[in-house]
Structure 1
């Protein structure tokens, strides 16, 4: 019990010290117009340096991330097939894949996968 309390206190102390150190180090000076503008050889910029963000690209990236994580979840099922019954493994894996396919179908029907409107 005492070791648990000591480990919690040590982790809280280390976390607090790191947060305080980051807070002290990251003190920024006041932002002014000269520091916020992009540098173009000493001249004023010709156009805005900020480009509009594509929401379709963001959605495709999120979908890719979700499916990437789901592949990591599916991979251990190959090893689990040796430890469990074949029917329970098949039902679990097929229900997971059916949920993924239904999610992909709903995204497709809602037009999330359409790049241009």
Structure 2
């Protein structure tokens, strides 16, 4: 049975973290710039006048590839504990991993069929 005193370290750490964030924001506002103006708010890059819009649109393909990379990378990370404990898991662990790998391959097949890896579209 847990008592309220068991949660005291967690509460103290949470309060300390929140206090640190609020203190940092207050400290930055206290020391930050006070005068605002058109020239002071402009970006400055090596004395060169800025021109045009610096925000150029990215293709959605880049984001899709990044998401797919993270997704399949995390799935491959799940294979590491299985490989380390291969002998201890026995046949049941092997069957579970075959099912998991089949799902990963099915997901990859789906991604390929949808054309997510095809740059020409």
Residues 107, 113 of structure 1: 8 Å contact kept? yes
Report the Cα offset of residue 97 of structure 1.
Answer: 0.5
Cα-Cα RMSD: 2.5
Structure 1 pair 110–25 and aligned structure 2 pair: CA distance change class (3 A):
farther
Q: Which residue of 2 aligns with 1:55?
A: 60
SS at 2:78 equivalent = helix
Q: Which residue of 2 aligns with 1:96?
A: 100
Report the Cα offset of residue 63 of structure 1.
Answer: 0.8
Structure 1: where are the runs of 5+ without partners? none
1:1-117 alignment to 2 at 5 Å?
A: 1-27=3-29, 34=39, 35-37=41-43, 39=45, 41-45=47-51, 47-85=52-90, 87-117=91-121
In the superposition, the TM-score normalised over structure 2's length comes to 0.76
Residues 38, 49 of structure 1: 8 Å contact kept? no
CA distance in 1, matches of 2:110, 2:93: 26
Residues 60, 113 of structure 1: 8 Å contact kept? yes
CA distance in 1, matches of 2:63, 2:37: 31
The number of aligned residues is 115
Relative contact order: is structure 1 or structure 2 higher (C-alpha 8 Å, sep ≥ 6)? 1
